[in-house]
Chains A and B, each alone.
Chain A
């Protein structure tokens, strides 16, 4: 798919990194401020989509990107299920918050497995949205007849 003009490419080179950082901030602070895994994941995906739209791509790189994204998505999902199993290992039920009293409340390191679950969800949602974009927009088929 084609890229865009030089202005867009310059600006997106500056902004994409900041977008990614902002998305990571929202994911990591999910237990303190509004946001969390879903919202932060969408912002991370937006950073990647911006890069893809501005610079365009060739079909070969798209396939490579798609494989890479798929790996991240599966790892995010696996991370979440394994966090559920941590509850078992500690002797309690599934998905129990086991390290809840570690660290002081209202700090970054607190609230047990909730930030870890947010990171897993953020990875999955971000990778998933970028994969949806690749499947729909950066297309292998042309819409002309």
Chain B
């Protein structure tokens, strides 16, 4: 076996887990936990192995499924950008799985949850490595349907309402994507991304080109909760189980929306700032609107799950801003923000849910003084908040700094000022949360609460470690993971040479 064989295993192993869990759970109830967490560990191992393999110098692995050569067959392309995204997915998935082992105690039907989670993982990994447009759409739909079912998992009235709303919006986005892919096939007669990029390059920037791109962007915008399509995100976060919220806000909106959009815009359509400045200015505009709307709506929220959801909308705006600025440091900052925000949001959702479980209340202002009764959980929440606000030495600081530097380098000074300003607004509402819940209220008797069980602590500590490590040791991360990914995006049509020529 060659060492490139781990690429389809990223999809095949969670599928195997998803089909084994219903069978084995009829024999012993604990099998679901065992298989689920085992799959998570295996996938993280593959992800790290892949990143290490790519950092030794190979430009990318092109895996031809079933032995059929491109552009006839379906190829899986594992280049540096895919390596980054796969690493993010599996880094957040393993703590979410560990958290689920104790979190699911009040729910019935554990094996159903794990099966859906395995399908979600298979779909997300598949999107990241797919080299074919329709294949990417199929994996998008797999992970989307799994997430609809997971959001409505505890079948109470509000969860069903949120799940249905999310489902309708998500499906309209998915069908727009399918329509755009159908139009692209009708015009270029191929579905392979590399081949399509060459056909589109020879076609030029006709009105049809922009129309298809607009349809694709509508589909991706709904999936990434960009304003004005963001309204499903707060309700879905309120109702979903906490590990699902962590995966949803931390990974799902980024892989489906941001990664898929970046891949299509830069590599398939071959756009870049010098050739299409109007398009990139539009991206900057959308990013700014998302930052503003998300930040302003987050200020007055009382329920901290909704607060975190609006904060996600705002951070997606930052990532879009980074892509819209279009020069090297903007894109590098945006990609770094993908990693940092995924770990940070995951950490915040898991920690806040542990606190809610232990104290029994969801609203701010009713709990206080928790750093004495549950120290590890409380400190992981505080550190996560600091990372989200962009305080050094966490990952959030580095990424926002890089985006602002990118804006300055392109002489868009007003943009840098707005971005920095809203960063302080973020800091504002988050500090409000910390001061109400944790420290500084001397008049409050500490709420009696037990420390969380060990599995949950393990998950929280892992995520804190990721946010810290990526922030402190940012130079090797930049050199080996993020900058090659940005170069894969900037290469544009070099993607086609990688797939077809090599």
User: A: which residues have CB within 8 A of B?
Assistant: 67, 70-71, 73-75, 77-78, 81, 84-85, 87-88, 92-97
Interface string of B16-43 (1 = CB under 8 A from A): 1011101100100000000000000000
B residues contacting the other copy or chain, number (CB 8 A): 17
Q: Establish whether residues A78 and B19, one from each chain, have CB atoms under 8 Å apart when the complex forms.
A: yes
B398 to chain A, nearest CB (A): 38
Q: CA separation between A85 and B15, bound complex, in Å?
A: 12
Closest to A89 in B: B1
Q: CA separation between A87 and B20, bound complex, in Å?
A: 20
Q: CA separation between A96 and B63, bound complex, in Å?
A: 12
User: B: which residues have CB within 8 A of A?
Assistant: 1, 5, 8, 12, 15-16, 18-20, 22-23, 26, 63-67
- In the bound complex, residues from chain B placing their C-beta under 8 Å from that of A81 are 12, 15-16, 19
Q: Establish whether residues A71 and B12, one from each chain, have CB atoms under 8 Å apart when the complex forms.
A: no
Q: Establish whether residues B19 and A93, one from each chain, have CB atoms under 8 Å apart when the complex forms.
A: no
Partner of B16, one of A73, A78, A95, A96: A78
Q: Establish whether residues B66 and A96, one from each chain, have CB atoms under 8 Å apart when the complex forms.
A: yes
Partner of B66, one of A71, A75, A77, A95: A95
For the residues of B in contact with A, the DSSP-based class is helix
Q: Establish whether residues A74 and B19, one from each chain, have CB atoms under 8 Å apart when the complex forms.
A: yes
- In the bound complex, residues from chain B placing their C-beta under 8 Å from that of A73 are 22
Closest to A79 in B: B19
Most chain B CB within 10 A, of A81, A87, A88, A97, is at: A81
Q: CA separation between A88 and B66, bound complex, in Å?
A: 10
Q: Establish whether residues A93 and B22, one from each chain, have CB atoms under 8 Å apart when the complex forms.
A: no
Q: Establish whether residues B22 and A74, one from each chain, have CB atoms under 8 Å apart when the complex forms.
A: yes
Partner of A88, one of B1, B16, B19, B64: B1
12 extra interface residue pairs, beta carbon distance < 8 Å, beyond A85-B12, A94-B66: A67-B26, A71-B22, A73-B22, A74-B19, A74-B20, A77-B15, A78-B16, A78-B20, A88-B5, A93-B8, A93-B66, A95-B66
7 A–B pairs (Cβ distance < 8 Å), ordered by A: A74-B20, A74-B22, A74-B23, A81-B19, A94-B66, A95-B66, A97-B67
Given known A-B contacts A71-B23, A94-B12, A77 and B18 have beta carbons under 8 A apart: yes
Q: CA separation between A78 and B12, bound complex, in Å?
A: 10
Q: CA separation between A78 and B18, bound complex, in Å?
A: 9
Q: CA separation between A14 and B22, bound complex, in Å?
A: 34
